[in-house]
Structure formats: C-alpha cells, structure tokens
Chains A and B, each alone.
Chain A
Amino acid sequence: MQRPQRIRLALILLASSCSYADRLHFVIPAGPGGGLDGTAREIGRIFKTFGQYESISYENMPGGGGGRALSQYLENRSRYRDAVLVNSTPLIVRSLQGLFPQSFRDLTPIVGLIADYGIFVVRADDPILTWSQLSTTFKSRPSTVVVGGGSVRGSLDHIVLALALSSINVNPREVRYLPYDGGAKAMLALLSGEVRLLSTGLGETMPFLDSGQVRALAVTAAERIETIADVPTLQELGHDVAFANWRGIFAQPQLPPKRKIELIEQFHELRQTNEWNAALQKRGWTPLDLAGNAFANYLLEQEKLLRTTLTKLGFIN
C-alpha cells in the first residue's frame, strides 16, 4: 500500500470511529479506584462485551467536590457531545451548598442505577442493642453519644444522621458529629472506640457486618434489604425516613430525544444481563431502577429533602 493511501485509510477509520453511537466516553468526577470509577468501568466493560459500543473510554476528573468535572463537561460541549457523566447524591448536596453554580438541572438525567443506603452501626460489643435504646439515649442526653462519619460536616453521612435524628424529634445540632477523612478511617475510629456510633453507607459497611466486628441498628432503605434481612428499616420502626445515595448517568443538556431513548434502552438492556447482576453482587451494590423522567422527578424530590435537612443543620438559609 502506498503511503498516501495508508494515511487516507487511517483517516477514514478514525472518522468512522468518531461517528455517533460507536463510542462512549465516561467522564468520572473522581479519581481511579473509587465507587464512581468502578461504576463507569463495570458499565463500560459490559457494553463492550455485548458490542453496544466499539470503543469505550474513561476520563477521571477529580477535584472541586465534583465541580470541576461538571463545569468542564458543560463548558466543552462540542468535545463532550457523546460523553456521559457519572454522578451521585453529593452532586445535589454540593450545589445546594453553593460550592458550584451548576446543578443536575443543567444535565439530562438518563438512569439511576445503584443505590447505597445510610446505615447506623455500633461495635459488636456495645451494650446498645436496638435503635429504640439508642433513641432513648439521644433523647435524654443528646451530646453523650459521639457519632462518626466518613465526610465533613454538612455532607452525606452527617445529613443521613440529621434525617434520622429529626425523625425521633432530636435536634441534630445538639448531637456531636465527628468527621473523618473517608469511611474507612471512620470505621477504624468506631473499632478503636473513639466514636460510639457510625453513620455511613451500607456498601462500605457490609464486609464489617459480615465479619461480625460491628452491628447495624437501622438502615434508611424503604424496605428491608436481602443481604442484611435482620436489620430493621427506620420506616418500619415508625419514622418517616427513607434515603438513598444514588449513583447514575447523565448526558449533555441538549441531547437529541432519539439519542436519549437509545441510551435509556441500552441501560435497560444492561440491567437484564447476568454480567451486570454479577457485578452488583461482587461489589455489594444494591440496584436502583430509575430512568428518564422518573429519575428526574426522583432527583427533584431528593433535592427538596436535602434542602430541608441542610437548613435544619444550619448549612444553608
């Protein structure tokens, strides 16, 4: 083959690979190795196995509490035309707190795929055995039980705690919340006895529940979860609280309707595959089944709830 021909062929191949639905690019607002990164890579792997896309690529863009990825994604629309953005509940929390001006309203919600529920755990040898014992203590002496969490004040673990406390009529501002740099260090603090109670996510806690080092008192899911069938939900304990940290997929704001339907369809197919269910099992993720407008409405509802809670905690006016 002559050289000019070869170049032309390469150009044609390059152009075809850039055509509309052949490639999918994931923008991940976090570093490699975490939950959001894992979600994108599991989805990508399965899409590739089933030939939905010829090429899948990933771009980790940590920083600014997810704000950097969001602003890059929205500012370079032509570059990220075909890209999707992975995100989770902190997107709502941080835009409510005013860390960045954009919100989920600037994006097209595609699907909510995974849910992580809030869970309250104590050390296995703690004399507190049930949620009602804990709430009695909270009601009589709110500042005696120090609660740990894996993120700063006013972020998810603290919000979930505040939701639960409000439901038992305890002022969340009277309870001492101790922030740690990540769920793992918070768990260590619980094991070392520095904090008495931990407000954290179910996914991260699962292995410690399995190994019997810690005991769960309540979970914020609406219904009991199969893998921890003996842990009561706050709702069945008579408190009107249900909360999930969702993980989902978003696309550019001016997405052609045809493409939106196609994406939703592809994720619908993804949910049916054995590979996806195996991945959920392997990683200890609970599935969430929301798509399109249902997902968008869910986000609006959650935003309302989060706004109320953050106001109660005094983080927003």
Chain B
Amino acid sequence: MWEGISTGIATAVDPINLCWVVIGCVVGTFIGMLPGLGPITAIALMIPISYGLDPAAGLIMMAGVYYGAVFGGSTSSILINAPGVASTVATSFDGYPMARAGQAGRALAIAAYSSFVGGSLGAIALLLFASSLAAIAIQFQSPDYALILVIALSSVAAFADRGQILTSLIAAVIGLMLGTIGTDPSAGVQRFTFGQLDLSDGIPFILLAMATFALAEAFRMTTDRSEGPIPSPGKNSVRLYPGDARDMAPTVSRSSVLGFLIGVLPGAGATLASFIAYDTERRLHKKVNRVRGIAAPESANNAACTGSFVPLLTLGIPGSGTTAILLGVMLSYGIQPGPRLLETEPGVFWGVIVSMYIGNLILLALNLPLIPYISRVIYLSRKILIPFVIAFSMLGVYLTTMNPFDIFLMLGIGLAAFLLRSAGFPLAPLLLGFILSGMLEENLRRTLYLSEGSLTIFFQSPLSATLLTVCLIVWTIPLVRIANDLRRGGNPRD
C-alpha cells in the first residue's frame, strides 16, 4: 500500500495534474457558491473539457469539481438561505440565523474550516481503508437502509425541540407526501401527476429547496417590515471567535467520522450524513450552539463526499447522481472502476485520492480570503437583495432542469410555503421529509416485498437488529423528554 501511496503522490504532484486540481477546485467551488447550482451542474458543465484530458488529469479535475462544489455549497445556504444541494440544507439551519445576526463572516469561516477538516480526514480515511470498507458497504440490504432512513427522519425531533412538536410533525408529513408525486418507484405507474409529463419525475429537490427556503424567506422579508437592520460586523467578524475552535474540535471530529461512514454506503450519501450529524450534535448538547450547528453538517457532508468514492472506486458502484456521472466519465476514458482498479490503474486510483488532500488545502486557501467580500452580500439593501435572491434561485432551478414549467411550479410552491410559514409551520422538517421520502418508500417497499409483509425481517440480521435498536432509542428519547416536561406542568422545552 505504501508503494501505492507513493505512486499516488507522484501522480498528484505532477505539475500538469496539480494545475488541473486547482482548476477543478476553483470551478467547483465557484459554481457551488451560486444559489441553486450544485455538484451535479458543476460536473455536467465540465464533462466536455474532461474528454480532452488524459485519464489521471481528467479524474483529478472532475473529483476536484465535485468536492469543490460541496465545499462552496454552504455559502448560499448561510448567506441567503438558498441551499443549492441537499447536503447543505442542514447548514442553513444555524448558518442563516447567524448571518442575519451580523456574523456572516464567522459562519462562513466555521463552514470553511469544518469542510476542510471533514474533506481532509475523509481523504486520509479513503487512503487507508478504501478496500476494507467496500466489504462493509455490501453488507447493507434494503431493511437496513429503511432503518437508517427512519433514524435520519428522527432529526425532526431536533426541530420539535423548539416547542413546535405538532407543527414540525405535520410539516414532515407534508414533505413525505410531496415526495410521492411522480413515477411510483416500484410499479412504475404515475402518481398525483394529473397527466402532466413535467411531474412524472417528481418535484426536483432543488426546486423544492429554493421554493421553501429561498423564496419563502424572500417573501417574508418583503412583507415583514418590523425587522431591523442587520447589526454591523465588528472588527473580527471574518474570523472565528475565541473559543469557537474549542467548540468545533470535538464536533468536527465526530461528524467527519460519521459522515465518512455514511458516505461509504451507496445511496445514503452526503445528505443523510449532514442531517444525522446535525441531529447527533443537537442531542449531545442540550443548549443550542450555532457554531456546532454549522460545523457538524459541513464536516459531515465533505467527509461523506470523499466517502462516496469508496463504492465508486472499489466496487464500481456509484452511490449518488453525482458519482454516477463520474462513473460515466471514467468509462469514457476506458477505465472501469471496481475491485481490479488497483491492479489495472494504480496511478489513477492513488493519484485521485492523494489529489483530494491537496485539493482540500487549495479550497481552504481559496475560500478563506474571499469571505470578507462574499459576506457583504448580506448587507445589501432589501431592495437589491430580494430581487437578487428570487432571480438567482429561479435561474438555478432553470439551469438544472431546463424546463420552464418548473419556474411556475416553484413560484406556486414558494407561495404555499410562505403561507405555511406564516401560519407557524417550520419548513425545515418539510424539506427533510421530502428528501427522505423517496428513498424510504423504495427501501421499505422492497423490504416488505421480500418478507411478504412480515415485520420480523427487521430482527433477522444482526445489522438490522442493531439499527432497529438505535432507531427505537432515537425516537423514544425525545418523546420521554416531552412527556416529562408536560408532567412537570410546564410547556415543552423553550
């Protein structure tokens, strides 16, 4: 293996490859920063360029675009509440309020450092354990995935904590229901599409995210005139506050490990990783700590993004839409990832992994100096900021789906979301329910089809039994706590 690593270092520091990792990271992180544009758009945009390169350089660049976009993705979540990719939704929960409180620079710095640590730890783990982890990835079956998704769904409890138990649950159920629109994942029939071909693939994630987060927030800002100006930044606003690093360290290490492990599972990926990491931190620390709330999802999603290369490189199985495109790129070079990639293309295999470490350093160096400039967006006057947010989020949706129908759908959903929000329903659980809905349904239906409707399948393997136990624990603890609060005669927490 050490031989492999040295081959990898040799490939990665080759001046041409070094040049391409920089290009990949720059393009990725800038596209990722734009609201509504995420890794898939960034990678798709670079495909034509990748065809002209030799395999190692091309893959190093494309990988750079991928994790660069994940790295930069937090920017629009934090500044304008417009997560361009599902894995940065959790970042906006604490990131956006912190930015509105006049600490945009601090929030961005926390995100940048956490992303860096998550990505780098992920790259090291990939280097050391790639082949052994692949064996674990093929242990997971549909019942196990279904249970993991139920565990992730329990992060609704993190929102229910704020005294909005019923409204949070209702919002989550609306999200789950919205996720059933489109083609039935099992029988292939059309559901709730009203014969509209435009709805047959379901509501695109990016559309719902932009509508419920960016648009609903823009509408609120338009109508809510009571909100005062955002406090002006202090001198140190672009840096971490003293003590932030101490708060972040344990969170970032926990979340990176968790994120990497979840990222290794094909189909789970960065989104689940970020939600579960956020939820874990919320449960471990009773007091709301926004620093941890940003650090957890950001380190987890970057580690998971690196982790998703495990099944791609060692099994030849892409776990997400983005890695599926990367697989297409590898195939176009005549490189077949899989158990034999190590023998057939050691230079590519190790080169890509080592370049990720370099790439993360570049991203940190690139992102930190930009923070003071980017964070000024938040001080724009509403007259400028609101149209900017609306225009950019629509552009992002249109560039992803290229379908004018989606613009109208987005406006409709945005309006509905604004009304829901005005009625006191939190929208984050709605988006969470929507994200998990499709995967949960697919895996649950497969599970029950396999067991012919019997629920005992969830106890049958040690893995499912363990996950079921975790599942029961994470769902009962908040209920017990709420019950206790109610018995004491007070309102539930907060």
Contacts and interface: CB of A to CB of B under 8 A. Distances in A.
Interface in B318-369: 318, 321, 324-329, 331-334, 336-340
A189 B142 contact: yes
A102 to B, nearest CB: 11
Contact of A152 (B43, B186, B201, B311): B186
B324 A64 contact: no
Contacts of B311: 188
Contacts of A210: 336, 338, 340
A185 B266 contact: yes
Given A188-B138, A189-B141, A211-B339, A282 B334 contact: yes
Contact of A179 (B137, B186, B336): B186
B197 A68 contact: yes
Interface in A45-91: 45, 60-65, 67-68, 71
A33 B197 contact: no
Contacts of A206: 336
B245 interface: no
Interface in A202-242: 206-208, 210-211, 213
A283 interface: yes
B295 to A, nearest CB: 32
Contacts of B401: 63
B324 A211 contact: no
Given A61-B402, A194-B450, A67 B197 contact: yes
B138 A67 contact: no
A47 to B, nearest CB: 14
Contact of B188 (A152, A189, A213): A152
A181 interface: yes
B198 to A, nearest CB: 7
A32 interface: yes
Contacts of B446: 178-180, 194
A33 B321 CA distance: 10
Nearest to B447: A194
B322 to A, nearest CB: 9
Interface in B216-256: none
A33 B44 contact: yes
Nearest to A45: B51
A176 B187 contact: no
Contacts of B139: 192
A63 B324 CA distance: 17
Contacts of A185: 266-267, 317
A184 B401 CA distance: 24
Contacts, number: 135
Contact of A184 (B43, B137, B138, B324): B324
Nearest to A65: B200
A213 B326 CA distance: 22
A295 interface: no
A179 B185 CA distance: 8
B388 interface: no
B28 to A, nearest CB: 16
B442 interface: yes
A146 B450 contact: yes
B83 to A, nearest CB: 21
Contacts of A192: 138-141
B13 interface: no
A207 B336 contact: yes
A37 interface: yes
Interface string A184-197: 11011101111000
A256 to B, nearest CB: 29
B44 A32 contact: yes
B338 A211 contact: yes
Contact of A211 (B333, B340, B450): B340
B183 interface: yes
A127 interface: no
A41 interface: yes
Nearest to A143: B452
A284 B328 CA distance: 12
Contact of B198 (A32, A38, A63, A211): A63
Interface string B385-414: 000000000000000011100000000000
10 contacts: A33-B44, A67-B197, A154-B187, A178-B450, A181-B185, A181-B442, A184-B318, A185-B266, A194-B450, A210-B338
Please list the 4 inter-chain residue pairs (A to B) with the smallest Cβ-Cβ separation, ordered nearest first.
A33-B328, A33-B325, A152-B188, A64-B197
Given A31-B44, A153-B188, A188-B317, 6 more contacts: A41-B48, A100-B197, A179-B446, A210-B336, A211-B340, A213-B339
Interface of A: 31-34, 37-38, 41-42, 45, 60-65, 67-68, 71, 97, 99-100, 146, 151-155, 176, 178-182, 184-185, 187-189, 191-194, 206-208, 210-211, 213, 282-284
